[in-house]
Amino acid sequence: MDLKSNHTAPVLADPVPLNKSRMGVHSSMLPYSSAAFSSDLFLNIPRKKTGILDDVRANSWLDAMKASSPPHRKIIKDSNNDLASTDADVAYRTWLLHYPSALTSFEQITNCAKGKRIALFLDYDGTLSPIVDNPDCAFMSDAMRAVVKKVAKHIPTAIISGRSRDKVYEFVGLKELYYAGSHGMDIMGPVEQFTSGDHPNNIMSTSKQGKEVNIFQPAREFLPMIDEIFSSLMENTKEIKGVKIENNKFCISVHYRNVEEKSWDTVANCVHEIIKHYPRLRLTHGRKVLEVRPVINWDKGKAVMFLLKSLGLSNCDDVLPIYVGDDRTDEDAFAVLREGNRGYGILVSAVPKESKAFYSLRDPSEVHNILLLKHFYVMEFLKSFVYWKQSSAL
Ligand SMILES: O=P(O)(O)OC[C@H]1O[C@H](O[C@H]2O[C@H](CO)[C@@H](O)[C@H](O)[C@H]2O)[C@H](O)[C@@H](O)[C@@H]1O
């Protein structure tokens, strides 16, 4: 199949504006039953015949790149900035009224969990590990690893990351968890409860720990294309100082965190020049990163539903799924949980953001800045689950 020559090409994705209403559901979210095991995963969105992005679109990329990662709040000393910091605090506290802290609302969450089983889904970068300049050094602390390990003893826990599944496993290193890489396009789940063993994108395998597992890769046929694009991106951006291209197996990250801002448009143009020839790939924005992904009807939200089903936890009545994440791609997961009041999304953020999440937790990197590790909020939240589970078992 020639993936390049599809004339009903999809629109290249600009960052998806969030619906202003918190109760709204992401428009691209189709019911799980119609997509999860269907071979018709490919989005088929008509776009202008030219397939070429105009300057306006290219400029909007640049705007989105500038907005993609607000600077961390600094501890500020002079009096002018004290004022600014106070304004920011007021804005944050006002925002908290809409997205209450998951820590202070912990009792409310556990009340909702009464008589239900909890399933926990965690994003990796910016959630379990602080955001750092070098993506290869986004290590999780030993303390965080220990807490995640303890939580997973009590609650089925999965990590759903934009990284390749192997890479995120390398960082986390816990065999007690389930892992989904490439924004959910590469899921390793348990064998026993899978219902679609004969699906073409489903492979029976043995994990590194020697366990029989099922691997679900809905974008498998894109692998050669992704490798090809990875080589082109490496070649075409090699003169741009600071750019880093990361191969995440079913998607590619083009990092511009370490590129001077005046060269960001060069990065955007380079990527644009390459992907305009691939109408079946799209571009999304993350934190100082452009991500090239296959246009398929699959995202972190679909991955959550898939894992719930494969774990035998898809019954809404006695399961409370909770998803903790910080990035735009996590919004798809927040949206499926909000849909039908299935569960709770928890947004990790130090700044006010529109979101489909119900609760919030502060950004761990801000905490690193002020060296208050004991307030590593995500870790504290996970610890609360361990205490709660341990005390309810007494
Ligand atoms: O879904 P996630 O687990 O949150 O992965 C999303 C992307 O995270 C990584 O990039 C981000 O974190 C880096 C390390 O802190 C940072 O340097 C970069 O600027 C961030 O965008 C990862 O490298 C990407 O491949 C993931 O897609």
* pTM of the predicted protein model: 0.81
Note the Cα 286 to chain centre separation in Å: 9
Q: How far is the CA of 145 from the centre of ligand 1 (A)?
A: 18
Contact 369, 381 (CB under 8 A): no
How confident is the prediction along the chain (394 residues), in pLDDT tens digits per residue? 333 333 222 222 223 333 333 322 222 222 222 233 334 455 443 333 333 333 335 567 777 777 766 555 544 445 555 666 688 888 988 999 999 999 999 999 999 999 999 999 999 999 999 889 999 999 999 999 999 999 999 999 999 999 999 999 999 999 999 999 999 999 998 775 555 556 677 777 777 767 778 899 999 999 999 999 999 999 999 999 999 999 999 999 999 999 999 999 999 999 999 999 999 999 999 999 999 999 999 999 999 999 999 899 988 789 999 999 999 999 999 999 999 899 999 999 888 999 999 999 986 554 444 434 434 788 889 999 999 988 887 6
The answer, yes or no, to whether any atom of ligand 1 lies below 6 A from the CB of 289, is: yes
Q: Which of 15, 11, 9, 48 is nearest to 291 (CA)?
A: 15
The answer, yes or no, to whether any atom of ligand 1 lies below 6 A from the CB of 363, is: no
The answer, yes or no, to whether any atom of ligand 1 lies below 6 A from the CB of 182, is: no
Contact 296, 182 (CB under 8 A): no
Residue closest by Cα to atom 15 of ligand 1? 131
Q: What is the ipTM of this complex?
A: 0.99
Q: How far is the CA of 330 from the centre of ligand 1 (A)?
A: 12
Q: Which atom of ligand 1 is nearest to the CA of 330?
A: 1
Residue closest by Cα to atom 21 of ligand 1? 287
Q: How far is the CA of 240 from the centre of ligand 1 (A)?
A: 19
E strands present in 201-259: 202-206, 212-216, 244-247, 252-255
Q: What is the reported pLDDT for 199?
A: 67
**What residues are annotated to the active site?**
123
- How many angstroms separate the CA atoms of 392 and 77, rounded? 45
What length does the chain have? Answer: 394
Q: Which of 339, 319, 226 is nearest to 275 (CA)?
A: 226
Residue type, 114: K
Contact 66, 15 (CB under 8 A): no
